[in-house]
Structure 1
Amino acid sequence: MVRSVVCETYLEEYLKALSQKQGSSIGLLVGQPSSQSKDHIIYLNKIKDDGVADQENKGLLEFDNQQISQHALVETRILPGGFYIMGIFVIYPKNVFEDATLLKKVKTMLVDMRHTFNSNPLIKGNCDELDGGEKLVFYYSSSSNVFGCKSVALKSDNLSVRPCDWKFQEQPAKWHILSTFFETDEVFVLKKNKNEDQYDTEGNLTDCVEKIKQQLEKSIVFFDGAPVDGKQLVEDVIRDKKDDPLLVHIYSPSLSTKDISLRKLESLPGILKFDGIVSSKVFVHPKNTIAEATAFIKADVIRSLMSRVQIHCDSLVQSEESLTQDTIVLNELPRRIYYPIRAKSNQILFSEYLLSEETKEIAIPHTQETLDLHLTPKELCATVEIVPEVKEEEPHDAKECDTGSADRVEGKLNMSLIGTLATITVLVIAIIVFYLTK
């Protein structure tokens, strides 16, 4: 069966403009794959190569695979639930499918991209359950505007190439947005680096996300307050709702309650309290099943959490050597903001992440660099998640705490003794007066 891919016509205008401006270009295809129906491309953007100044006369073999893979990883962080990097597009005078050298280069790009996603599994870059491990290669001629598309089976030994049916269509696809919040409040063991007396911040935070992923796998997603059969189509569930949004709630299983007699005290090097609220926005096609929508929601929460961890750790400048063992460190993960990509189908929203001290204007140059998308501050919605008001606690010396506590206890004992003596004295006086007046 030939894989069918649908792309909105307005995106072809971007390709035409890019081919006229640059003779050769590499970019990413963003969309939603389907195991049963058509694949949908909702966005595409070029990758800027900082290593070569002359972009217009650059050959395809000069593009850096590692830079393309890293760009794909960064771009995946800002995608909402339900969307993935589905492959690459190539603008070049020669047909990449008719030149063995060029085709081999394109294959290595996709292989390196897959390896990068495999090295960052919590970013949820691969979606083998929907695309079977195949990525798309879309070729657009910069000389004749001729185009073609094929898929590369990255899980096969010979990286076989298969034909695809690519169509630009005027009628936009319809997408439904599923919005929800996921709250976590967990405590985990803080681990140190092997053979070192330092804490691995990124490693510990990554372990937290992995454990939350395991928790989410056991969670149940309710739609409009009730579980829904996973085989049902989204269009069947929302058929009677008209314009009302489909309410989504995530219910996680409670922790197992063991017999208190089986519990034991354990000495730990430290603990990490991981708590907060994560916003999630997922876009589903009417032909998606509820099971697919559920998987998109869970994947978006994990992708968002892991993206925050990576962005936060990249921003750290404080040396871990300056932290003493009893120091309490506050790691504020960045918050999520949303913005439209101006898709003609509807208001599809991508996201960006801001550190606590950053304003939303900071996201504009990064969005332009990553997506080749020009935004204004008014288009950025930074009210879905807010900056939490938190205060970092200060460590105290244990001896000072013990001394102070003992003094307070001793003071309380003295006051009790004085009160008891006073009561006895009053009682004796009352008895003497009673007998003297009798």
Structure 2
Amino acid sequence: MVRSVICETYLEEYLKSLSKKQGTSVGLLIGQPSNHGKDHIIYLNKIKEDDGPDQENKGLLDIENQHVSQHALVETRILPGGFYVMGIFVIYPKSVFEDSDLLRKVKTMLVDIRHTFDSNVLIQGNCDELDGGEKLVFYYSSSSNIFGCKSIALKSDNLSVKPCDWKFQDRATSWHVMSTYFETDEVFVLKKKTEDQYDTEANLTNCVENVRQQLEKSVVFFDGGPIEGTQSLEHVIKAKKNDQFLVHVYSPSHSQQDISTRKIVNFAGTMQFEGVVSSKVFVHPKNTIAEVERFVKVDILRSLMSRVQIHCDSLVLAEDPVQDTIMLNELPRRIYFPIRPKSNPILFSEYLFREESKETAIPHIRETLDLSVTLKELNATVETVPEIKEEEQHDAKECETGGARKGAERPNVIVLGTLSAIVVLIVAIIAFYVTK
């Protein structure tokens, strides 16, 4: 069976515009794969070079694979659960499918993207359950506007190429939003990187891994109860009186765990990982309830890990780390913005630190997605800034911190205090959320 892909019609105009401006472009295909029926491409965007200029001055063979794969990782942080980097598009005078060198080049790009996601598992960039480990290559001629698409089987030894049916279609499907909040409040043992240094990223990643394990055992209720996973969303919608879904994620209770299996261990410090995460996923009527549940869990996990990576990218580590300290690592809060305000309900995400205004997000969105958004289109009220206790603020001014994520300043708050032979790392994601 030939893989079928439906792409929103307005995106063809974007491709035509790129082909007129420059002879060579490489970009990402963003969409939702399916193991039955049709895949949907809901967005695509070109990738800019590291030094700023676009790729028109370079041939396809000159484009760095690592730059493409790193951009795919950064862009995936922005995507809600259920949407993935489904492949790449190439605008070029020659067909990449008719030139062995060009085809080899795009194959290696896709392999590098997959390896990058394999190295960042908690970002949930790969989706073998739905796409079978295959990624798309869409070719658009900059000389004739002729296009074609094929899929590359990345799990095969020879990276076999398979035919693919690509269609541009206006309003290919309807999208429904599933909104929920996920709360976490856990305490973990701090692990050391060296004898006298703690690895912040490793410890925060361990927290997210724990959330992943919780989500695997969690159940998702829709409108107050479970729904059989094999049912299609279309069937469930027909039985509802309205389109709104109340979604709740329930995790196993610690009180049910067998205390006899517990061990007493010695440790030098603890980490409290707490907060409430906003989640919005977008699904179409042909999705099954099991897929919707999976997308909700992926969204929560991806959002948490994205915050950790963005925060750790911003850290400037002291040369002589102080041991008896309280460290407050405040992860950024989530904001939402539309990719096509008038006719598409789908929202992507950005992340802002406490000191950052909404204006900070605009350049990064433009750079990452080649998308212009206005301040009015940014919804920064879904998650609120966490409150910091007075004792945690006490010595904040004594510590100079900083850092930058490309395109935006990324401050970090570290609060120092003295405890007897213990290090406590408190992570505040968000403390409160606005209820309906």
Category of TM-score, reference length = shorter chain = 0.7 to 0.9
Among 330, 337, 361, the alignment partner of 1:339 is 337
Give me the whole-angstrom Cα distance separating, in 1, the residues matched to 2:334 and 2:319: 27
In structure 1, distance between residues paired with 2:120 and 2:177 = 26
The residue that corresponds to 2:276 in the other structure is 277
Partner of 2:87: 87
Is the 1:338–1:382 contact (alpha carbons within 8 Å) kept by the matching residues of 2? Answer: yes
Are the counterparts in 2 of residues 27 and 88 from structure 1 also a CA contact under 8 Å? yes
The residue type paired with residue 383 of structure 1 is T
Are 1:60 and 2:60 matched, yes or no?
Answer: yes
SS class of match (1:366): helix
Residue 72, structure 1, aligned to residue 72, structure 2: yes
The percentage of aligned residue pairs carrying the same residue is: 73
Partners of 2:53 and 2:243 in 1: CA distance: 51
Query: In structure 2, what is the equivalent of residue 434 of structure 1?
Result: none
SS in structure 1 of the partner of residue 6 of structure 2: strand
Alpha-carbon distance between aligned partners in 1 of 2:221 and 2:171, rounded to the nearest angstrom: 32
Structure-2 separation of matches of 1:260 and 1:102: 59
Counterpart contact for 1:138–1:150, Cα < 8 Å: yes
Residue in structure 2 matched with residue 153 of structure 1 by the alignment: 153
1:121 corresponds to 2:143: no
Distance (whole Å) between structure 1 residues aligned to residue 122 and residue 257 of structure 2: 30
Q: Is the 8 A contact 1:198 1:320 kept in 2?
A: no
* Correspondent of 2:366 among 364, 368, 383: 368
Decide whether the 8 Å contact of 1:8 with 1:170 is kept in 2: yes
Q: Equivalences for 1:68-217 in 2 at 5 Å? A: 68-193=68-193, 195-217=194-216
Displacement of 1:260: 7.1
Q: Distance in 1 between matches of 2:99 and 2:247?
A: 49
- The 5 Å alignment of 1:252-267 reads 252-257=251-256, 266-267=265-266
Quote the residue 1:15 is aligned against.
Answer: 15
Mapped partners of 1:80, 1:262: distance in 2: 38
Name the counterpart of 2:250.
251
Q: Give me the whole-angstrom Cα distance separating, in 2, the residues matched to 1:107 and 1:196.
A: 43
Q: CA shift at 1:196, angstroms?
A: 2.9
What is the one-letter code of the residue matched to 2:373?
Answer: L
Q: Secondary structure at the match of 1:90?
A: strand
Report deviation, 1:350: 0.2
CA contact (8 A) 2:325 2:419 kept: no
C-alpha separation in 2, matches of 1:329 and 1:52: 36
Which stretches in structure 1 are left out of the alignment for 5+ residues? 400-438
Residues 124, 320 of structure 1: alpha-carbon distance in 2 compared, 3 angstrom cutoff: farther
Partner of 1:357: 355
Post-superposition Cα deviations, 1:308-335, rounded to whole Å, max 9, x if no partner, equal 00000011124163322x2010010110
Match of 2:417 among 382, 389, 395: 395
1:8 to partner: Cα distance:
1.1
Deviation at 1:35, TM superposition (A): 0.1
Could you tell me which amino acid in structure 2 is paired with residue 369 of structure 1? E
Paired with 1:97 and 1:136, the residues of 2 have a C-alpha distance of: 12
Q: Which amino acid aligns with 2:352?
A: L
Per the normalisation by structure 1, the TM-score is 0.87
1:227 corresponding residue in structure 2:
226
Secondary structure of the 1:329 match is strand
- The equivalences for 1:414-429 within 5 A come to none
Structure 2 unaligned residues grouped into runs of 5+? 393-415, 422-436
Rounded Cα–Cα distance in structure 1 between residues aligned with 2:333 and 2:152: 36
Range 351-360 or range 232-241, more displaced: 232-241
CA RMSD of aligned residues (A): 1.8
Aligned to 1:409: none
How has the CA–CA distance of structure 1 residues 293 and 259 changed in structure 2, closer, same or farther, with 3 Å as cutoff?
Answer: closer
**Deviations 1:80-137, CA, capped at 9 Å, x for gaps:** 1110000000000000000000000000000000000000000000000000000000
- 8 Å contact from structure 1 (residues 186, 274) kept in 2: yes
Q: Which amino acid aligns with 1:206?
A: T
State the structure with more CA Rg: 1
More helix by share: 1
Equivalents in 1 of 2:255, 2:379: separation in Å? 39
Q: Cα distance 1:207–1:96, how it changes in 2: closer, same or farther (>3 A)?
A: same
Q: Secondary structure at the match of 2:31?
A: strand
User: What's the CA shift for 1:355?
Assistant: 1.1
| C-alpha contact 1:31 1:86 (8 A) present in aligned 2 | yes
1:406-425: CA deviations, max 9, x gaps?
A: xxxxxxxxxxxxxxxxxxxx
User: Does the Cα contact within 8 Å between 1:206 and 1:309 map onto a contact in 2?
Assistant: yes
Shift of 1:243: 3.8
Q: Aligned equivalents of 2:142 and 2:269: distance in 1?
A: 59
- With normalisation by structure 2, the TM-score equals 0.88
Query: More deviation in 86-95 or 340-349?
Result: 340-349
Which deviates more from structure 2 when the two are superposed, residues 383-392 or residues 349-358?
A: 383-392
Q: Which runs of 4+ in 1 moved over 6 A?
A: 258-264
How many angstroms apart in 1 are the aligned matches of 2:241 and 2:21? 44
2:290 aligns to what? 291
User: Shift of the alpha carbon at 1:237?
Assistant: 1.1
Q: Secondary structure at the match of 2:238?
A: coil
Distance in 2, Cα, partners of 1:263 & 1:77: 36
Q: Deviations over 1:119-160 (max 9, x none)?
A: 000000000000000000000000000000000000000000
- Pick closer, same or farther for the CA change 1:367–1:56 going to 2, 3 Å: same
Higher strand content, 1 or 2:
2
Amino acid corresponding to residue 37 of structure 1 in structure 2: G
Q: Secondary structure at the match of 1:56?
A: helix
Deviation (angstroms), 1:258: 6.3
